[in-house]
């Protein structure tokens, strides 16, 4: 397609959450107008876009208005119905494509794509019915049972150690299609962000080392402090391979496990975990640590603009800020002491404009940048202490 030039086009977003909000901010900085379709009257993205279409993702009138008002359309989360993207693609440029998003919506299909792309994933079995449950290889236990669809941030996941626990967990998940993955001895969790244009040009960010708590991303560090250069090279190559095999257009995050394995190079091997067809929580550091953020590259890919190879100019640590921080000993909700946090050097606070703090809800993130990884980590630990967060990184 011809490039949609800044100042002369309108971009649309399906979804009104924080990722859509940050996309809108990046698009507006380049001079684009934005339209958000989301059913929530007070959605974070809808609050900052020029137009908010309050409608469901399958509402034909809302979709028609989005297509009429926009020159190109993206999605801010992977669980938007793929059929909505297919409908819009008949009228406007849509990126990523419905077919790519559909792959990411189903763990079984996703793992089949990884294998077809020649990228190894964890040993697993698909459990779609009682016969599939009975056929599970005992070598996959202990493992993690995950729903094939709609699981994120640790939701829809159960650890199981025995066949009896597996059967009970599947019952507890209403016997919906699931994937059982063998538990692996992790050295670290990593992710790689790539951006790919319609012309096939692909660029990437440095490998990100991630720490999860309770299944939710808590900390990202870049450069990855514990990962050898060769392992990082392999992760980048695999992420680019996954994107290319999808014919992907947009920003894609591919998450990896770096698994302990005696005798392997660097003491471990990489297996791919999952992917997200959008900017990712682990890439939020790019807003302050790079010359081009993941959201700017999402805008560029959608609009058909050139994709520059992003350059990291500062070591960075990202702390995820959940609603729990608003609930102290007094019961809350009370905002944290941001003035004390922001007195620390190199701190950048990003709040998402959500009206209500709730336990486990993503309310914002804090980026810490510095000249060296050690300095960034040191300040991040001070900030964590002020916020009452663990400093286990």
Percent of the chain with pLDDT over 70: 97
The predicted pLDDT at position 261 comes to 77
For residue 18, pLDDT over 90 is answered with yes
Averaged pLDDT, 89-103: 96
Q: 155 versus 8: which is more confidently predicted? A: 8
| Structural domains counted in the chain | 3
**Does 193 lie in the same domain as 138?**
no
Contact (Cβ atoms closer than 8 angstroms) between residue 256 and residue 238: yes
The residues, ordered by sequence, that sit 6+ positions from 46 with a Cβ below 8 Å of its Cβ are: 16, 36, 38, 40, 52, 54
Q: Is residue 320 part of a domain?
A: yes
Residue-wise over 248-266: b if at least 16 C-beta within 10 A, else e? Answer: bbbbbbbbbbbbebeeeeb
**Does 154 lie in the same domain as 69?**
no
- Name the β-bridge partners of 18: none
Distance in angstroms (rounded) separating the CA atoms of residues 241 and 50: 37
Averaged pLDDT, 285-308: 98
Q: Residues 317, 322, 323, CA angle at the centre, nearest 5°?
A: 150
**Does 128 lie in the same domain as 87?**
no
Condensed to tens digits (0 to 9), the pLDDT of residues 330-370 reads 667 899 999 999 999 999 999 999 989 999 999 999 999 99
Q: 155 versus 306: which is more confidently predicted? A: 306
**Does 248 lie in the same domain as 329?**
yes
**Does 241 lie in the same domain as 354?**
yes
Distance in angstroms (rounded) separating the CA atoms of residues 72 and 74: 7
Residue 14's φ and ψ, nearest 5 degrees, are -85, 115
Contact (Cβ atoms closer than 8 angstroms) between residue 315 and residue 289: yes
Range of the domain at 145: 123-182
DSSP classification of residue 290: B
Q: Is residue 345 part of a domain?
A: yes
Condensed to tens digits (0 to 9), the pLDDT of residues 224-256 reads 999 999 999 999 999 999 999 999 999 999 999
**Does 194 lie in the same domain as 278?**
yes
- Give Cα 379 to chain centroid, integer Å: 25
The predicted pLDDT at position 153 comes to 61
Q: At what angle do helices 18-30 and 294-303 cross, to 10 degrees?
A: 70
| CB atoms closer than 10 angstroms to residue 155 | 12
Q: Is residue 133 part of a domain?
A: yes
- Maximum distance among all Cα pairs of the chain, rounded to whole angstroms: 61
| CB atoms closer than 10 angstroms to residue 112 | 14
Residue 332: give its domain's CATH number: 3.30.470.20
**Does 162 lie in the same domain as 71?**
no
Beta strand pairing status for 93-94 and 72-75?
parallel
Of 94, 110, 138, the domain-final residue: 94
**Does 284 lie in the same domain as 199?**
yes
Q: Is residue 99 part of a domain?
A: no
Condensed to tens digits (0 to 9), the pLDDT of residues 270-290 reads 999 999 999 999 999 999 999
DSSP assignment of 22-37, as one string?
Answer: HHHHHHHHHT-EEEEE
The predicted pLDDT at position 156 comes to 82
The residues, ordered by sequence, that sit 6+ positions from 155 with a Cβ below 8 Å of its Cβ are: 215
The predicted pLDDT at position 150 comes to 75
Report the chain's mean pLDDT, rounded to a whole number: 94
């Amino acid at each position: 397609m011809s490039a949609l030039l800044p100042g002369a086009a309108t971009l649309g977003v399906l979804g009104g959450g924080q990722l859509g909000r940050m996309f809108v901010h990046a698009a507006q900085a380049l001079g684009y107008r934005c339209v958000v379709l989301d059913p929530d009257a007070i959605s974070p993205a809808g609050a900052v876009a020029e137009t908010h279409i309050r409608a469901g993702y399958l509402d034909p009138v809302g979709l028609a208005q989005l297509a009429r008002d926009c020159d190109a359309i993206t999605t801010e989360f992977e669980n938007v119905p793929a059929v909505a993207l297919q409908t819009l693609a008949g009228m406007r440029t849509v990126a990523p494509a419905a077919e790519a998003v559909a792959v990411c919506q189903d763990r079984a299909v996703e793992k089949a794509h990884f294998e077809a792309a020649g990228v190894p994933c964890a040993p697993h079995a698909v459990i779609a019915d009682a016969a599939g449950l009975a056929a599970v290889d005992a070598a996959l236990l202990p493992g993690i049972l995950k729903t094939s669809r709609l699981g994120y941030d640790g939701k829809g996941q159960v650890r199981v150690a025995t066949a009896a626990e597996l059967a009970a967990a599947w019952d507890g998940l209403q016997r919906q299609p699931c994937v059982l993955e063998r538990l692996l001895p992790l050295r670290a969790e990593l992710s790689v962000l790539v951006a790919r244009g319609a012309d096939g040009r692909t660029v990437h960010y440095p490998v990100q080392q991630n720490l999860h708590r309770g299944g939710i991303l808590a900390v990202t560090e870049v450069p990855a402090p514990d990962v050898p250069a060769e392992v990082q090279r392999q992760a980048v190559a695999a992420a680019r391979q996954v994107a290319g095999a999808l014919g992907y257009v947009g920003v894609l995050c591919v998450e990896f496990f770096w698994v302990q394995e005696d005798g392997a190079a660097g003491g471990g091997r990489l297996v791919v975990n999952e992917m997200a067809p959008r900017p990712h929580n682990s890439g939020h550091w790019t807003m302050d640590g790079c010359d081009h953020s993941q959201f700017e590259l999402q805008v560029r890919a959608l609009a058909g603009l050139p994709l520059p190879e992003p350059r990291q100019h500062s070591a960075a640590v990202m702390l995820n800020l959940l609603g729990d921080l608003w609930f102290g000993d007094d019961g809350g909700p009370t905002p944290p002491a941001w003035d004390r946090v922001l007195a620390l050097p190199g701190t950048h606070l990003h709040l998402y404009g959500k009206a209500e703090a709730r336990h486990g809800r993503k309310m914002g993130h804090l980026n810490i940048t510095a000249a060296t990884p050690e300095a960034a980590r040191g300040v991040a630990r001070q900030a964590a202490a002020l916020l009452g967060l663990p400093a286990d990184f």
